[in-house]
Homo-oligomer: A and B are copies of this chain.
Amino acid sequence: MKTSKPVVVEIFGQQYTLRGDADEPYVRELARYVDKKIREVAAKTKTNDLRRLAVLSAINIAHDYRRLADEQQHHQMAIRQIGRKTRDLIESIEEEFDDLHLH
């Protein structure tokens, strides 16, 4: 992830300079999200070791990512199924009414 000009964000009390193509409000939103995730893990694990907290948070975010990716795969399967059913429906209507052509 890159931002067009350097954006300085604060995560769990430490400053990070992020550079690249993304716009500043989006980068700040990502930083707030990661900060929130690290604070959630910190509250659960009762450690202030930012190195461990950041790695555990990265695993949690990766877990969220995977769940979303699995959901998306199910949606894509549903879309394909809807497509098949719609084609079957149109075909059966066309067979029923030989002279009917749907556009």
Q: Is A72 an interface residue (CB 8 A)?
A: yes
CB contacts (< 8 Å) of A8 on chain B: these are none
Contact flags A51-77 to B (C-beta < 8 A → 1, else 0): 110111111111111101101100110
CB contacts (< 8 Å) of A78 on chain B: these are 79
Interface residues on A, range: 35 or more
**Measured CA separation A78–B14 after assembly (Å):** 41
Is B51 touching A34 in the complex (CB atoms < 8 A)?
no
CB contacts (< 8 Å) of A75 on chain B: these are 72, 75-76, 79
Is A58 touching B72 in the complex (CB atoms < 8 A)?
no
Q: Is A42 an interface residue (CB 8 A)?
A: no
